[in-house]
Structures are given as C-alpha cells and as structure tokens.
C-alpha cells in the first residue's frame, strides 16, 4: 500500500531487464529513511522476458506502454506518481543504502530543483578498461558538478532526482530525442532553479555497454552524437546506440 504522505516517487523504465531489475529494486527496498516514504513505479515497454514478473514482486505499480523510449516511459511514470520528489533510475543501477536520505537533505534547500547522485561503475574489467572506468566516472561526476555550478547542468539520469512541480513546469522529458534526453532535461531544470551533485548520494551502475563496445568507442559515439543534437540540431545516429531502440 502506498502511504498518503509519500514523499519520493522512484521511476524505473525497463525493457528486457530481467538480469538487472531485481538488484535495482532490492536496493530501493533497503533504503534507510529518516523521514517520508517511497513508492516504486516501473514502466515497462512490453518486455519479452521476465522483467515484469520480477518487478511486480517489489514495485508499487508496474505500468506497460506500447511505444519504446525512455523519455515516454519516464513521463508516463510521472503522471502516475504521488510524490513531491521524483527519482529517475536506470534499471541497471544500484543505490547505496542511504541514497534517498542524502538526496532529500539536498532538497532541504528550497532553491534546489534537481539533484544528481554520485555515480560509480559496478563491474571489474580489464586493466585498461578499469583505468578508463576510473577516469570516466570521476570525469562524469566532475563535469556534472562543475556545469551545475555554472548554471547549465549536464546530468545523466542514472540516478537523478527533481521536484515534481518543477518537472511539470518545464514539460518533462523530450520524447523526440533518442539520446541525450537526460542532458536536455537537466538543462531545462537549470534554467528555473538550483541543480547540484550530492557526493553523499552514491549509486553504482552497470558497465554493460562499456564491456560490449569498449570505453573509447562509447566516448566517441556519445561525443559525436551530442555534437549533432546540441550543436548541429540534427537527429543522432541511432546505429551508434542500438539500446535506444530497445525501450
């Protein structure tokens, strides 16, 4: 049962995530909350595996949508959310046990509208990829923190929280974007309020795409597609990101 004073609505978009979703949802259930409550909303895009079956064991709501795309899934989840704070999670992300408490501490400042967690990688890789992993996540977190301080936050939605009222004010996620929808969203949030990275709100995410393609290939793909989307105002090369067609 969802409590009437629900404070945080956690929204997880999925498509064929049976290998990851249980670990993600378990980490949510293990949150040590000092106040408030949570609800878990999983928005699934017609998974062909046991994703929904697993999600139903943990989530307060499991919604199904016909169209694939993380932006639409998140927007649909928000429409059903009861919390004043929203937390968007990727299905392959695991939260530290006090993540939500630390995130809420940041929202104690009424000027704060969006908070990104501090992200690290889960798996051990080869020597070179482990080195790249270290620099990648340090760079990712530093870029997010620096751009937030400068007023144009570049936040991934691996673990990103925001105020529901402000989410609705800026129009949510752009469903026309196949990639970089998270960056576009955080930039909109940065125009209406304060955004920050909480070093104390830690989360760990899968490196499956790194293991599949290699760190450098991922960097090159994201760089050239972000350039196309934000500088040239063109659509991304979808073949660089086949996973965007999977949800």
| Per-residue pLDDT reduced to its tens digit, 124-169 | 545 445 555 565 666 777 888 888 899 888 888 899 999 999 999 9
> Quick one: pLDDT at residue 19?
94
Residue environment code for 1-30, b if the CB has 16+ CB neighbours within 10 A, otherwise e: eeeeebbbbbbbbbbbbbebbbebbebbee
pLDDT at 2 over 60: no
HSE-up of residue 58 (Cα within 13 Å, Cβ side): 20
Which pLDDT score, from 0 to 100, does residue 218 have? Answer: 63
* Residues in Cβ contact with 29 at an 8 Å cutoff, skipping those fewer than 6 apart: 58
Average pLDDT of the chain to the nearest whole number: 83
pLDDT, residue 11, reads: 98
What local confidence, expressed as pLDDT, does residue 91 receive?
96
Say yes or no to pLDDT of 86 above 90. yes
**Which of 35-39, 134-138, 181-185, 228-232 shows the highest mean pLDDT?**
181-185
For residues 115 and 107, give the distance between their C-alpha atoms in angstroms, rounded to a whole number.
8
- What angle (nearest 5°) sits at the alpha carbon of residue 198, between those of residues 194 and 200? 155
Indicate the domain borders of the chain.
8-211
The confidence band for 212, taking pLDDT boundaries of 50, 70 and 90, is low
User: Which CATH superfamily includes the segment(s) 8-211?
Assistant: Spore Coat Polysaccharide Biosynthesis Protein SpsA; Chain A (3.90.550.10)
What is the average per-residue pLDDT within 166-194? 92
Question: Confidence band (pLDDT; 50, 70, 90) for 9?
Answer: very high
């Amino acid at each position: 049962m969802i409590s009437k004073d629900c404070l945080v609505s956690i929204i997880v978009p999925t498509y064929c995530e049976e290998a990851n979703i249980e670990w993600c949802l378990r980490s949510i259930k293990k949150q040590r909350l000092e106040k408030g409550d949570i609800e878990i909303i999983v928005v699934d895009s017609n998974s062909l595996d046991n994703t929904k079956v697993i999600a139903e064991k943990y989530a307060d709501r499991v919604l199904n949508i016909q169209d694939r795309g993380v932006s639409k899934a998140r927007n649909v989840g928000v429409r059903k959310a009861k919390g004043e704070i929203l937390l968007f999670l990727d299905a392959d992300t695991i939260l530290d046990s006090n993540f939500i408490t630390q995130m809420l501490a940041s929202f104690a400042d009424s000027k704060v509208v969006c908070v990104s967690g501090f992200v690290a990688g889960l798996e051990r890789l080869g020597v070179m990829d482990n080195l790249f992993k270290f620099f990648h996540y340090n760079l990712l977190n530093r870029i997010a923190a620096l751009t937030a301080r400068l007023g144009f936050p570049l936040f991934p939605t691996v673990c990103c929280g925001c105020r529901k009222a402000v989410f609705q004010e800026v129009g949510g996620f752009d469903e026309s974007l196949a990639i970089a929808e998270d960056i576009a969203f955080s930039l909109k949030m940065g125009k209406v309020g304060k955004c920050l990275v909480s070093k104390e709100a830690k989360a760990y995410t899968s490196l499956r795409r790194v293991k599949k393609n290699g760190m450098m290939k991922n960097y090159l793909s994201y760089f050239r597609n972000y350039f196309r989307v934000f500088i040239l105002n063109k659509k991304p090369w979808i073949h660089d990101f086949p996973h965007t067609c999977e949800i």
